[in-house]
Structure 1
Amino acid sequence: MSGQNESPYYFVPQPSRHPIMAATGLLISMASLASWVNGESWAPITFVVGLLWLLYTLWHWFGDSIGESEGGMYGKNVDLSYRWSMSWFIFSEVMFFAAFFGALFYAREIALHELGSLDYKLIWPDFTAVWPNNGPAALVSHFRSMTPWPLPTINTALLLSSGATLTVAHHALRENHRNKTIIWLAATVLLGLCFLFCQGYEYFHAYNELNLTLASGVYGSTFFLLTGFHGFHVFLGGTMLTVVLVRVIRGHFTAEHHFAFEGAAWYWHFVDVVWLGLYVVVYWL
């Protein structure tokens, strides 16, 4: 929010076309994705069309919100609503990752040991309950598991450093040092890009040198689901911070009123914490 935070009332916007347009884009893209998975030749084209339609809608929707904020239409009540909304959004993301961590825990600590128990020895006498595993029937081709060094450890250092640079940028904004804010926020975005580049190289290495793919049993599927969705969240958080950076350059925030910055920072720190859990559970244990 901008510094023009004087409205004592709760701002109610005019009827908007954006929700129905966003819903239409989501419907087209998700239906096309489902058809794509089932081998429909036209699905990739309509998926791209739906995704572009959704992005176009979000561009204008967020643009309208920024314009309303800069126009002084948002007061303390709207600010509070945004804070609660962002808090619940991050909570939903916590539950999202909790489901994947839960799946990994179940596979490693429950299903694997159950398959290795005496009850199953007559069916799979050679099976040993050791993680990672290619399954009791050995249907999955041989692969090597990921290790924490060097790329995962480098990525951990990159994300932790980005959290530090973002904190410095936030303090600089609160002290009204705009140039310092721009420099440290740009450094945060750059560190996020480096993380994504390293993760892309890690996937290339996994597929081509370790034979580790999404088809590599429960280990491969949980590894790529956890790290892949986290990478997507890094991309999403980096996009948020890039928008905030542009707004800082344009002078949209003041030392007192800058929730767009704070909301993006909350999200980025959440992404950092999730990665620490991933780094320990996926790469070390």
Structure 2
Amino acid sequence: MEVHAESQTHYFVPPPSYWPLLGAVALFCIALGAALTVNALAAGPWALGVGALLLVWMLFGWFGDVIRENLLGRYQGREDLSFRWGMGWFIFSEVMFFGAFFGALFYVRVIALPTLGDFEHKSLYPDFVPAWPLSTGPGITQVYQAMEAWGLPAINTLILLSSAVAVTWAHWAMVLGRRTQLILGLALTVLLGWLFLALQASEYRHAIDSMHLTLSAGAYGMTFFMLTGFHGLHVLLGTIILAVVWLRVVRGHFDQRHHFAFEAASWYWHFVDVVWLFLFVFVYWL
């Protein structure tokens, strides 16, 4: 008998867990390792490695507990609503995260460049050219080329848009109970995600080796790699999440009414797609 959230009398409270503590230790090791590595200390890579292993262990263990609790019927309605609110706020925090980096990009292009290029500042920086991409000015010692929009970036845009269609197809198949189409749609989404990452890695290699575009290439290089790099990290995470959901679909963990894990993964993937459209327009195209 199905229990609805409105009639549920008990809210499942899990027993005490050491996973949050382990996650905190993992993040501390990662932060410490990053600081030591930047300062060229030998312990840095070791601390990073330990932190990464602990983080992976925590993720497998914690999410494994949640999956087992769900399969045992511990979640009866209100818990599902809590998960939905949690995922919504998580995506909102990601919007704010990328908003900060886009804000930095717009500040440089719309405020800093015109200000440094006006008559008052010409006496300080006589050779400065207030044009984007920024290629002259103090601190820029190596000539670089800006990325073109209509090569790999355009192909990657088509790939991500196709993956959005594929995950929507999978969601439609989930609701209608069409298992074969669901499995195929999710598998196609995961494959397109990996293809995007492979092409982005190829793009980075070309940018660094042939175009001399690096993080040290002024404001353009910093904003380009920060925005596209963090987006690539989110694509990686989204692809892994969708791959786990695909495995759960194959094992029969979901039905037509109860499949929030799939919905959460699809929400995240659509968010990643939308961010890329903004990136393509404001980083590559304009």
Q: Which residue of 2 aligns with 1:28?
A: 29
Most deviating of 119-128 and 197-206? 119-128
> How far apart are 1:4 and its partner, in Å?
7.3
Q: Are 2:282 and 1:255 equivalent residues in the alignment? A: no
Q: Which residue of 2 aligns with 1:237?
A: 238
Most deviating of 6-15 and 69-78? 6-15
Distance 1:195 1:4 in 2: 41
Counterpart mapping for 1:135-150 below 5 A:
135-137=136-138, 139-150=140-151
Amino acid at match of 2:178: H
Distance 1:265 1:39 in 2: 40
Secondary structure in 1 aligned to 2:103? helix
1:159, 1:192 within 8 Å by CA — same for their partners in 2? yes
Q: Which residue of 2 aligns with 1:57?
A: 58
1:167-191 Cα shifts (integer Å, max 9, x gaps): 0000101111112100110000000
2:108, 2:219 within 8 Å by CA — same for their partners in 1? yes
Amino acid at match of 1:231: G
Most deviating of 35-44 and 226-235? 35-44
Q: Which residue of 1 aligns with 2:154?
A: 153
Q: Which residue of 1 aligns with 2:178?
A: 177
Q: Which residue of 2 aligns with 1:105?
A: 106
Distance 1:140 1:202 in 2: 23
Q: Which residue of 2 aligns with 1:69?
A: 70
Report the number of matched residues: 283
Q: Which residue of 2 aligns with 1:11?
A: 12
Distance 1:216 1:136 in 2: 11
Amino acid at match of 1:249: V
Q: TM-score w.r.t. structure 2 length?
A: 0.96
Q: Are 2:123 and 1:122 equivalent residues in the alignment? A: yes
Distance 1:14 1:238 in 2: 30
Amino acid at match of 1:74: Y
Q: Which residue of 2 aligns with 1:46?
A: 47
2:235, 2:272 within 8 Å by CA — same for their partners in 1? yes
2:134, 2:218 within 8 Å by CA — same for their partners in 1? yes
Distance 2:52 2:4 in 1: 37
1:172, 1:178 within 8 Å by CA — same for their partners in 2? yes
1:219-262 Cα shifts (integer Å, max 9, x gaps): 00000000000000000111110010000000000000100000
2:129, 2:136 within 8 Å by CA — same for their partners in 1? no
Secondary structure in 2 aligned to 1:159? helix
Amino acid at match of 1:185: L
Percent identity of equivalent pairs = 51
Most deviating of 78-87 and 5-14? 5-14
Mark the runs of 5 or more structure 2 residues left unpaired by the alignment: none
> How far apart are 1:137 and its partner, in Å?
2.9
1:35-67 Cα shifts (integer Å, max 9, x gaps): 111121111012101110111111011000000
Distance 2:224 2:141 in 1: 15
Distance 1:101 1:134 in 2: 20
1:115, 1:136 within 8 Å by CA — same for their partners in 2? no
1:98-126 Cα shifts (integer Å, max 9, x gaps): 00000000011111111101111112223
Amino acid at match of 1:217: G
Mark the runs of 5 or more structure 1 residues left unpaired by the alignment: none
Distance 2:148 2:3 in 1: 50
> How far apart are 1:5 and its partner, in Å?
6.1
> How far apart are 1:135 and its partner, in Å?
3.8
Q: Which residue of 2 aligns with 1:212?
A: 213
Distance 2:127 2:61 in 1: 60
Q: TM-score w.r.t. structure 1 length?
A: 0.96
Q: Are 2:134 and 1:133 equivalent residues in the alignment? A: yes
1:61-118 Cα shifts (integer Å, max 9, x gaps): 1000000001000011000000000000000000000000000000111111111011
1:127-152 Cα shifts (integer Å, max 9, x gaps): 22111113423633100000112100
Distance 1:53 1:4 in 2: 38
> How far apart are 1:33 and its partner, in Å?
1.0
Distance 1:64 1:138 in 2: 51
